[in-house]
A = this chain, B = another copy of it.
């Protein structure tokens, strides 16, 4: 059989064949293969951390990744943002009747490869099939469990006046690349989709003065900085000239009117760190393959407005709001 049929979601024989023939084959590990209603895990020493994300990205295969790689990276990264070491992932597929099994296999392979790289085990799964026209190919939920072994408490409410804001590289590349592919534009832009747990471990090993880590996915850098400003009751000042943006993204933004500060990233982390250790953390980040272009992009300032300001090249200052309306639907 070449395509997914409703019977693959019945819970019966074809579901079993899909699970045993495809999922077990790629995801195999001792816990998953127990094949019970739930997965019993070894005891966790430290505080468990959990996060969930559903992925509905369009197109499902894109330059720099696919929905499978993205679904593992996204959840591993969210775990890492709390300082946790990622351990386990559960996977829920919703698949449209008629979806090609060879594409499902490509996605599953990609998930398996990314999970291996991240050192996480896929321990539980679920597959539902819906009739043609009730899903756009495939949607994936991944939920992660990690362990917080460090004695830290990172969080959006911890930013303080004077702290520096660092990002590990060029912004807006995931959003820009998806945009060009949807528009059928010729472009070399690639999604930055990547696993950040290694870079985060280096950052946290190097300094006890890191206050917030957050990945600027949907809504971009502007939106997450507004969240932090709101949660911490501070304002944030960005320097336009310090924002690392690739030429291709700049050009695309000029043509389309998009603002790179709102474009999604899938391999970036915003670090809020005490000024005293900012330069050292920056160096540590630059020494990591995913942080070569790391830059200090701004700082936390005193102001009761909980706003994000952008100091432009020509010396002006304007307010950067949270994303309003919809920029690019189904970006992740």
Is there an interface contact between B323 and A11, defined as CB atoms closer than 8 Å? yes
Q: How far is the CB of A80 from chain B (nearest CB, A)?
A: 8
Q: What is the CB-to-nearest-CB distance from A17 to chain B, in angstroms, rounded to a whole number?
A: 10
Specify the main secondary structure of chain A where it touches its partner.
mixed
A37 to B37, CA, bound (A): 27
Please state if A12 and B219 are interface contacts (CB–CB under 8 Å).
Answer: yes
How many chain A residues have a CB neighbour from B under 8 Å? Answer: 88
Contact check, B156 vs A36: say whether CB atoms are below 8 A apart: yes
Closest to A7 in B: B326
Report if A5 contacts B (CB, 8 A).
yes
List A81-133 residues whose CB lies under 8 Å from chain B: 81-82, 84, 88, 90-94, 123-126, 128-131, 133
From 127 to 165 in chain A, residues with beta carbon under 8 angstroms from any chain B beta carbon are 128-131, 133-136, 139, 141, 143-146, 148, 153-156
Q: Which of B143, B321, B330 contacts A130 (CB 8 A)?
A: B330
A317 contacts the other chain (Cβ, under 8 Å)? no
Q: How far is the CB of A274 from chain B (nearest CB, A)?
A: 19
Q: Which residues of the other chain, B, contact A264 by a CB distance below 8 angstroms?
A: 11
* Assembly CA distance A50 to B31 (angstroms): 11
**Which chain A residues have a beta carbon within 8 Å of chain B's beta carbons?**
5-7, 9-16, 34-44, 46-56, 77-79, 81-82, 84, 88, 90-94, 123-126, 128-131, 133-136, 139, 141, 143-146, 148, 153-156, 213-215, 217-219, 223, 227, 231, 262, 264, 321-327, 329-330
